Amino acid sequence: MSIATAPLLLEDTPLGPKAGGLYRRQNALVGLIAGVVLAAIGWVISHALLQGSNWGSDMVVTVTLTCWVIGFNIGIGTFNAPFRWVVGKDSTREDELYGAGVGQGAARYWKYCTDHKVVGTQYFVLVMVLFAIGGTLAMMIRTQLITAHSSFLSPGTYNNIVTIHGMIMIIATIIMVSGPFANFILPIMIGAKDMAFPRLNAMSLWVVVSAVPPLLATFVLGGVDTGWTTYAPLSVQAPPAMDAFAICIITFAGVSVTVAGINTIVTVSTMRAKGMTMSRVPIFAWGSVVSAALGLYAMPAFLTAMSMMITDRATGTSFFVNQLGGAGWLWENVFWTMGHPEVYVILLPGTAALMEIASTFSRKPVFAYKAAVAAFVGIGSLAIMVWAHHMFTTGWAPNLATPFMLTTELISIPTGVIFLVLIGTIWKGSIWARLPMYFLYLFLWNFIIGGVTGIYLSDVPADQFFHGNMFTTAHFHYTLLGGAMIAATGAVCYWFPKMTGRMLNERIGKTAFWFIAIAFQVTYFGQFWEGFQGMPRRIAFYDPIFLRANQMSTIGAYFLMLGWMILLAAIIVSWRNGKIAPANPWHAKSLEWKVQTPVPLENFLVDPVVTSDPYTYGEGVPDGQNQPSAAPEPELVPAGASESTSGGGAS
Amino acid sequence: MSLTTSEHESTDGGEHHHEYLPAVEGAENPGGEHESAGERDKKERLMIWLFIGGDLVILILEVFAWFYLRTLDSNGMWNAAKCTASANCVDGLGNPLIGPVAKASIWHPMIIMSLAIISALFVWAAESASRRKAAKSAVSGPALAALVFMIAAIVVQILQFQVLPFTTVDGGYASVYEFFMGSTLAHLLLMGFILTGLWTRAAKGRYQGGTFHRVRIMRMFGVWIAISTSVLAIVGGFFV
């Protein structure tokens, strides 16, 4: 006699052979094929109809790559749900479970999967791929600059590489925390079963994937030699590669980041666990929400700017052509409306993650929690009022220089508060010096240099000298790479056990850390030196007086790359063969550490009810005994031990 | 973080069950979703407000571009008002421009604006019918009317492209005006897609029995489309 029993976990639910419908036949390979086929059709038709007309090449490239983006997303399944909805067909429970990856094992990582943990893992891998490409391009730039008149790259190729390096890094840094961690970790952290809109979540990921090939296609379409800011009129005069660049940005910024930002805000606003009041929300959630809100302001501006530019190029409008009634300043205003908030879109989630790390490894609550929240909101508010400091040297509205200098310098106040919150949190704490803390220390060092040098650039007279030279390059690398990316790396080390079910190899990780920490200073102090000497940015050849500084920077860059490669090796080795992670290796207090690893499909087997803030370290413990518990964690289901769908990233 | 666990308790109000709800035939509560209509509505309303917020940024920048280029009038080429035979004005193709670029007809944008507003009013009527649990046709009828008016607006917008007295190459005014038209068309097409869904689903009885939430979401978006269309129509029509 057999007795039928209900599955214990949702992911073990047996599905019928038709569950998922069309999704069963769709994956990344189908997307690739559909994208290529539709792009080929688009090229044939547009070439036949438009090539001979004015701006024919631009129109053909625009149509072809738009077809690629649409085709890929048809193939992967982005449009299934909207079209099913519009014809009145709803998905069944089995369809939803299939969409969440049930019964598909590792194949779900190649599909339009709605499980936020799978999407977070997909983002994590995508970010590493983008950094690998962007980093390789950076090495080519530095190799060119190791001698004053290197023939390694032609000037045109050098400029193209500078542009695409910049844009790939901007894309990667925008999603490096909000992609992996705001997807995988954030919902668990607030006690939610998933993101608010799981399909939109998957869409935000696959849309980025479809946006990257057009960016890389710029190399075969004549290159974009304008720098990532693509100032007009250079952008209007550039080869058809500029259209590919614009398609990438419209797809990435206009669709993916906007949708992802909406999803993050709605998730935190409406799906918190019972009892999780706003003052009990983990600080990482605050940082993510403010970043998403800022992105919701900035990215539509990027979409608008690029749309205007592509119409200038492909239909003959003249938004940015002065002699035809346009204005280059219009581009600069609209672009920097996006450009400066975007810095904080990148920075805030990472610094918020560091606050979690600081609290966990100091065994102390986040210092001045409310001030930290206020600082995030303050930065978000001020960030939209500083855009014109990027235009001090352009001659635009000189009377506005002083107000913009003031707002820019004002923003150093909430930024300083964030710095003080981090210091205050670790101050007199019982420091547990694990790898995430190493990166926190490095962030503090780098960010103070990045912040202080930023004040010089916000100052109108000083900016006249520094604006177009390598000082600026060093400054924003200290801020975005030394600050945001180091913070993101700390977050990787911190949440790696939860995401993969394995402990990150700290021995290799710390080796990588020291390479990165030291080589970073060598690289970018070299660039500050170049800047003080007056070396302009974006040049392939330079006067020999800058040679020493460039050699210093290039040698530092090689070692920096080596450090990142060692860290990548640590990630890969640990993910494959690392020590099995307990559910809460850091003895942390927030909700993501309270669930088992691998995390079940809907995160919580029973709904949590929160009764305190997430930083109750030391409560009820006598002074001086606030140490991490030495007691072993209870044995939990190890990652990779079952073939179930749990724990995105574990299998 | 201290916590207790409580089976079947809500994340925010007592209805969030762990299991999936069974499929409800005919209602806007498909079997695949395991939230109450109220919970979903809360999320979707916030989503649509945020989407409108993002779209508002685009609208503001479009209007900014209009007034910025109009004020700057660089090279006298906002609408070539000062161009004469001796002024050596040329368009984007290098052809000489003599005299100002002709203005677009005021009627097309006004008609489009009116149609978008009427369409939004019909969506509102559909929402009211859904709220008061009226018969199926009381929802699907206005939904179909809204769709028809939206299609009419799309058609008029496309027609306007055919009859414009200038092309994209004719300076700043022509550029921004055509950008407004493209932006309006994109919004109308998106709304047309949504209204098609509203109509087909209303005809299947999805919005019966008080399940009005998603109709309200569509009404909010429809009103926003009407507003943004109106703003662009007024700016483009009256501030040349």
**CATH number of the domain encompassing residue A545:** 1.20.210.10
What's the pLDDT at A359?
97
On chain A, the residues whose CB falls within 8 A of the CB of B1 are 280, 589-591, 594, 610, 612-616
Q: Are residues A59 and A143 in the same domain?
A: no
CB contact under 8 A, A87 and B68: no
Here the tokens at position A203 are 């869409």
Reply yes or no on whether the pLDDT at A4 is more than 80.
no
Average pLDDT, chain A: 92
CA B175 vs. chain centroid, Å, equals 21
**Cβ-nearest to B175 among A94, A297, A317:** A317
Q: How far is A589 from chain B (nearest CA, A)?
A: 5
What's the pLDDT at A637?
40
What's the pLDDT at A613?
86
Q: Are residues A568 and A485 in the same domain?
A: yes
Taking each helix axis as running N to C, give the angle between helix A198-217 and helix A241-249, from 0 to 180 degrees, rounded to the nearest 10.
170
Strand, coil or helix: A430: coil
Q: Are residues A530 and A458 in the same domain?
A: yes
CB contact under 8 A, B68 and A330: yes
CB contact under 8 A, A196 and B43: yes
CB contact under 8 A, B11 and A191: yes
CB contact under 8 A, A311 and B182: yes
Q: ipTM of the predicted structure?
A: 0.91
Residue in chain B nearest A84 by alpha carbon: B197
CB contact under 8 A, A330 and B32: no
Domain end, chosen from A85, A100, A128, is at A85
**Cβ-nearest to B54 among A300, A606, A616:** A300
CB-based contact A162:A234 (threshold 8 Å): no
CB contact under 8 A, B77 and A297: no
pLDDT, tens digit (0-9, with 9 covering 90-100), for A606-632 = 889 998 888 988 665 555 444 444 334
On chain B, the residues whose CB falls within 8 A of the CB of A11 are none
How does residue A53 score in pLDDT terms, banded at 50, 70 and 90?
A: confident
**Cβ-nearest to A610 among B1, B61, B197:** B1
Element counts in chain A: helices (H) and strands (E): 23, 1
State whether CATH 1.25.40.80 applies to domain B37-238: no
CA–CA dist A231, A166 (Å, integer) = 14
CB contact under 8 A, B8 and A270: no
Q: How far is B107 from chain A (nearest CA, A)?
A: 23
Domain end, chosen from A577, A594, A623, is at A577
The letter for the amino acid at A183 is: N
Q: What are phi and psi of A609, to 5 degrees?
A: -125, 120
Note whether B16 contacts A: Cβ–Cβ < 8 A: yes
CB-based contact B132:B40 (threshold 8 Å): no
What's the pLDDT at A616?
86
Mean local confidence (pLDDT), B159-167: 95
Q: Are residues A130 and A77 in the same domain?
A: no
Q: Integer distance in angstroms from the first to the last C-alpha of chain B?
A: 60
Q: Are residues A147 and A68 in the same domain?
A: no
CA–CA dist A120, A103 (Å, integer) = 19
On chain A, the residues whose CB falls within 8 A of the CB of B143 are none
Residue range(s) defining the domain that contains residue A187: 114-577
Strand, coil or helix: A477: helix
Show Cβ contacts of residue A317 under 8 Å, excluding neighbours closer than 6 positions: A308, A311, A326, B92, B168, B169, B174, B175, B178, B179
Note whether B174 contacts A: Cβ–Cβ < 8 A: yes
Q: How far is B102 from chain A (nearest CA, A)?
A: 15
Domain assignment present for residue A641? The answer is no
Residues of chain B numbered 175-234 and touching chain A (CB < 8 Å): 175-176, 178-179, 182, 193, 196-197, 200-201, 203-204, 206
Mutating which of B1, B44, B79, B101 best tests the A interface, going by the most A Cβ atoms within 10 A? Answer: B1
Nearest by Cα to A551 from A225, A559, A169, A476: A559
CB-based contact A576:A136 (threshold 8 Å): no
CA–CA dist A497, A298 (Å, integer) = 33
How does residue A412 score in pLDDT terms, banded at 50, 70 and 90?
A: very high
Q: Compute the C-alpha angle A632/A636/A641, nearest 5°.
A: 130
CA–CA dist A211, B128 (Å, integer) = 41
CA A324 vs. chain centroid, Å, equals 38
pLDDT, tens digit (0-9, with 9 covering 90-100), for A544-585 = 999 999 999 999 999 999 999 999 999 999 999 999 999 999
Here the tokens at position A155 are 């000037």
Of residues A565 and B88, the one with the higher pLDDT is: A565
Q: Which residue carries 């180091």 as its tokens?
A: A486
Domain assignment present for residue A95? The answer is no
**A with B: how many residue pairs have Cβ under 8 Å apart?**
218
Average pLDDT, chain B: 86
Asked if residue A598 has a cis previous peptide bond (ω within 30° of 0), the answer is yes
- Identify the burial level of B54 via C-beta atoms within 10 angstroms of its C-beta, where 0-12 means exposed, 13-18 middle and 19 or more buried: buried
Show Cβ contacts of residue B166 under 8 Å, excluding neighbours closer than 6 positions: B101, B102, B104, B173, B174, B177
Note whether B95 contacts A: Cβ–Cβ < 8 A: no
Mutating which of A256, A587, A607, A615 best tests the B interface, going by the most B Cβ atoms within 10 A? Answer: A607
Mutating which of A200, A204, A263, A270 best tests the B interface, going by the most B Cβ atoms within 10 A? Answer: A270
Domain assignment present for residue A145? The answer is yes
How does residue A8 score in pLDDT terms, banded at 50, 70 and 90?
A: low
CB-based contact A451:A419 (threshold 8 Å): yes
Per the DSSP assignment, residues forming a β-bridge with B3 are A610
Note whether B94 contacts A: Cβ–Cβ < 8 A: no
Mutating which of B11, B41, B58, B170 best tests the A interface, going by the most A Cβ atoms within 10 A? Answer: B11
Reply yes or no on whether the pLDDT at B22 is more than 50.
no
How does residue B210 score in pLDDT terms, banded at 50, 70 and 90?
A: confident
pLDDT, tens digit (0-9, with 9 covering 90-100), for A201-225 = 999 999 999 999 999 999 999 999 9
CB contact under 8 A, A325 and B173: yes
Q: What is the percentage of chain A residues whose pLDDT exceeds 90? A: 87
CB contact under 8 A, A300 and B62: no
Q: Which residue carries 């999407």 as its tokens?
A: A119
On chain A, the residues whose CB falls within 8 A of the CB of B179 are 307-308, 311, 317, 319
Q: How far is B195 from chain A (nearest CA, A)?
A: 9
Radius of gyration of chain A, Cα coordinates, nearest whole angstrom: 25
Reply yes or no on whether the pLDDT at B18 is more than 60.
no
CB contact under 8 A, B93 and A54: yes
Strand, coil or helix: A544: helix
Q: How far is A523 from chain B (nearest CA, A)?
A: 39
CB contact under 8 A, B11 and A96: no
Strand, coil or helix: A338: helix
Residue in chain A nearest B39 by alpha carbon: A270
Reply yes or no on whether the pLDDT at A406 is more than 70.
yes
CB contact under 8 A, A311 and B168: yes
Mean local confidence (pLDDT), B43-53: 97
DSSP string, chain B: --EEE-TT--SSSS---SSPPPP-TTSS--TT--S-HHHHHHHHHHHHHHHHHHHHHHHHHHHHHHHHHHHH-GGG-SS-TT--TTTTEE-TTS-EE-SPPPPPPSHHHHHHHHHHHHHHHHHHHHHHHHHTT--HHHHHHHHHHHHHHHHHHHHHHHHHHHH-SS-TTS-HHHHHHHHHHHHHHHHHHHHHHHHHHHHHHHHTTTT-TT--HHHHHHHHHHHHHHHHHHHHHHHHHH--
On chain B, the residues whose CB falls within 8 A of the CB of A95 are 32
Q: How far is B185 from chain A (nearest CA, A)?
A: 14
What's the pLDDT at B11?
36
CB contact under 8 A, A602 and B18: yes
Residue in chain B nearest A293 by alpha carbon: B50
Mean local confidence (pLDDT), B150-177: 96
CB-based contact A268:A187 (threshold 8 Å): no
Q: How many domains does chain A have?
A: 2
Q: How far is B33 from chain A (nearest CA, A)?
A: 7
Q: Are residues A37 and A124 in the same domain?
A: no
How does residue A634 score in pLDDT terms, banded at 50, 70 and 90?
A: very low
CA atoms within 13 A of residue A608's CA, in its CB half-sphere:
26
Domain assignment present for residue A4? The answer is no
Residues comprising chain A, all counted: 651
Q: How far is A310 from chain B (nearest CA, A)?
A: 11
pLDDT, tens digit (0-9, with 9 covering 90-100), for A584-611 = 999 999 999 999 999 999 999 888 999 8
Q: How far is B117 from chain A (nearest CA, A)?
A: 22
Mutating which of A200, A330, A387, A589 best tests the B interface, going by the most B Cβ atoms within 10 A? Answer: A330
Domain assignment present for residue A103? The answer is no
pLDDT, tens digit (0-9, with 9 covering 90-100), for A225-279 = 999 999 998 999 999 999 999 999 999 999 999 999 999 999 999 999 999 999 9
Reply yes or no on whether the pLDDT at A76 is more than 90.
yes
Domain assignment present for residue A31? The answer is yes
Asked if residue A233 has a cis previous peptide bond (ω within 30° of 0), the answer is yes
Strand, coil or helix: A606: coil
Residue in chain B nearest A613 by alpha carbon: B1
pLDDT, tens digit (0-9, with 9 covering 90-100), for A24-38 = 999 999 999 999 999
CA–CA dist A491, A350 (Å, integer) = 7
Q: Integer distance in angstroms from the first to the last C-alpha of chain A?
A: 35
Here the tokens at position A585 are 């290796």
What's the pLDDT at A133?
97
- Identify the burial level of B93 via C-beta atoms within 10 angstroms of its C-beta, where 0-12 means exposed, 13-18 middle and 19 or more buried: exposed
CB-based contact A316:B93 (threshold 8 Å): yes
Q: Are residues A61 and A124 in the same domain?
A: no
CB contact under 8 A, A325 and B172: yes
On chain B, the residues whose CB falls within 8 A of the CB of A54 are 93
**Cβ-nearest to B20 among A93, A269, A272:** A93
Q: Are residues A384 and A502 in the same domain?
A: yes
CB contact under 8 A, B55 and A589: no
